[in-house]
Amino acid sequence: MPLPVSMLRELNADIDGDSQKIQDFFVEMLRIKSVNPKMGGPGEQQRAQFLEDFLRSEGFQVSRIDVRDDESRMNRPNLSSRLEGSDPSRTLWYVSHMDTVPEGSLGLWKTKPFEPTVKDGKIIARGAEDNGQSLVASLFALRELKKMGAPLPFNVGVWFVADEEFGSTYGIKRLLSGDHFKKDDLVVVPDAGTPRGTDIETSEKGLLWFKVTVHGKQVHGSLPHKGLNAHRVGMKLALDLDKSLNGKYRARDNLFDEPSSTFEPTKKDPNVPNINTIPGIDVFYFDCRVLPRYSLADVISDVKMKIARYEEKYGVKAEMVEEEKDIAGPATPPDSEVVVLLAEAIKRVSRVKPRITGIGGQTVGNLFRNKGIPTAVWSTVDDMPHEPNEYSKVKNLLNDAKVFAALPLLA
């Protein structure tokens, strides 16, 4: 149905009127450290309880799916709540995540990362943008729809999930293996965006993280002829992989914000603690974001062939381990219902012209697409995820809440 101007004004006025409440809630939530336990943090349990308590205090029913993480020896919570629509067989879901990455180097922060600072219209804290802003925006959009009491064409709900920052094993992957989502659902994942909120992401690159371990022979630094320097061979192999992978998979696709596939050597494990020992083990990692036209299996095959050549040439033993792999799902069609409704809501609320794009950074949107559920990824952010001094602009928080509330009223 067309969204009457009077209803849009009411919606906008309500959210603006609650701006201080929304901001205060956001700050309080960000004080709860929810760093992924696989990254040394306490996990999402305390934040999930905070959100569940708030939803129940607002009169919402809450479903909670706890997934046991035996490695971390804790439960990983996933929360959902929804409003019923005239067609209860379909649901518009806003899906955001509760976990964050660690703060990184504290010396690069101007404020304390887990003591939110409000300054110059920004809320500065770890997790403010990734993914706190969108979580709070979708929560207060749902609250606004409940408050307005306008008839909804279908159900509208939120999922606040665990483990997005480390592969989603205890979050969306587990939920998608059950019956929590249907093929006819509409899914918005507000976990990537641009400063003006123009970009609706409908496609993502394939993701491959791999580790290579090179085994040589450790000896005293003054007797290199007695050993085999795994670090030297590892450095050569990493640089060779960098050159060969970027050289072979060099096609461009201008749909994506980074139009080429990328193969980046990133993490490096310590080898020996002292300078005067030649290392017998060298370990390095790559982060690969691969255009959908290419096969991740082909990339993996090329890496293993290169490793085999180095084993033969230098006499080392080496192996590759896949740390994470997600095949690029089919792109969401630009004329799909979720994209059309989201684009109209953006135009009506933000007064900007949306455009369709793809990204290299993976979101859980790719997991939905691989299950055949068309998904749109969108938010209004300054693209600060994982950076020191990460922040959310209050105006973006309120704007996105308005867009999320308006979207189902346009159906």
pLDDT, tens digit, 9 for 90 and up, residues 300-358: 999 999 999 999 999 999 999 999 999 999 999 999 999 999 999 999 999 999 999 99
99: annotated active-site residue: yes
Catalytic entry in 44, 130, 164, 191: 164
Which residue spans of the chain are classified as CATH 3.40.630.10?
A: 5-204+330-410
DSSP string, 1-26: ----HHHHHHHHHHHHHTHHHHHHHH
Read off the tokens for 117: 């600072």
Measured CA angle at 238 (ends 233, 241), to 5 deg: 120
pLDDT of 276: 98
> What sign does the CA torsion over 290, 296, 299, 304 have?
positive
Report the alpha-carbon distance of residue 403 to residue 411 in Å, rounded: 13
What is the mean pLDDT of the segment spanning 213-218? Answer: 98
Please name the CATH architecture into which domain 5-204+330-410 falls: 3-Layer(aba) Sandwich (3.40)
Report the alpha-carbon distance of residue 327 to residue 110 in Å, rounded: 38
pLDDT of 211: 98
pLDDT of 257: 86
pLDDT per position as a tens digit, 237-267: 999 999 999 999 999 999 998 999 999 999 9
Beta bridge partners of 159: 80, 95
What percent of the chain stands above pLDDT 70? Answer: 100
DSSP string, 26-45: HHHHHTS--B-GGGTS--SH
pLDDT band at 361 (very low <50, low <70, confident <90, very high): confident
Give the pairing type, strands 391-393 and 122-124.
Answer: antiparallel
Looking up tokens 């995540």 gives: 97
DSSP string, 160-197: EES-GGGTSTTTHHHHHTTTSS-TT-EEEE-S--BTTS
pLDDT band at 1 (very low <50, low <70, confident <90, very high): low
Q: What is each CA distance from 185 to 87, 162, 406, in whole angstroms?
A: 11, 21, 17
Q: Is the pLDDT of residue 35 over 90?
A: yes
Residues in the chain: 411
Q: Is the pLDDT of residue 228 over 80?
A: yes
Report the alpha-carbon distance of residue 382 to residue 366 in Å, rounded: 22
Which residue spans of the chain are classified as CATH 3.30.70.360?
A: 206-326
Compute the mean pLDDT over every residue in the chain, rounded to the nearest whole number: 97
What is the mean pLDDT of the segment spanning 89-110? Answer: 97
Catalytic entry in 99, 129, 130, 191: 99
Omega prior to 78 cis, within 30 of 0: no
Residue range 206-326, CATH number: 3.30.70.360
What is the model's pTM? 0.89
Q: Is the pLDDT of residue 121 over 90?
A: yes
In contact, 199 and 354? CB cutoff 8 Å: yes
What is the mean pLDDT of the segment spanning 289-303? Answer: 97
Looking up tokens 């006819």 gives: 184
What is the mean pLDDT of the segment spanning 46-55? Answer: 98
pLDDT band at 57 (very low <50, low <70, confident <90, very high): very high
pLDDT of 4: 86
164: annotated active-site residue: yes
Amino acid at 355: R
Nearest to 137 by CA among 18, 1, 7: 18
What is the mean pLDDT of the segment spanning 133-148? Answer: 98
What is the mean pLDDT of the segment spanning 203-222? Answer: 97
Report the alpha-carbon distance of residue 142 to residue 150 in Å, rounded: 12
Q: Is the pLDDT of residue 62 over 80?
A: yes
Count of beta carbons in the 10 Å neighbourhood of residue 355: 11
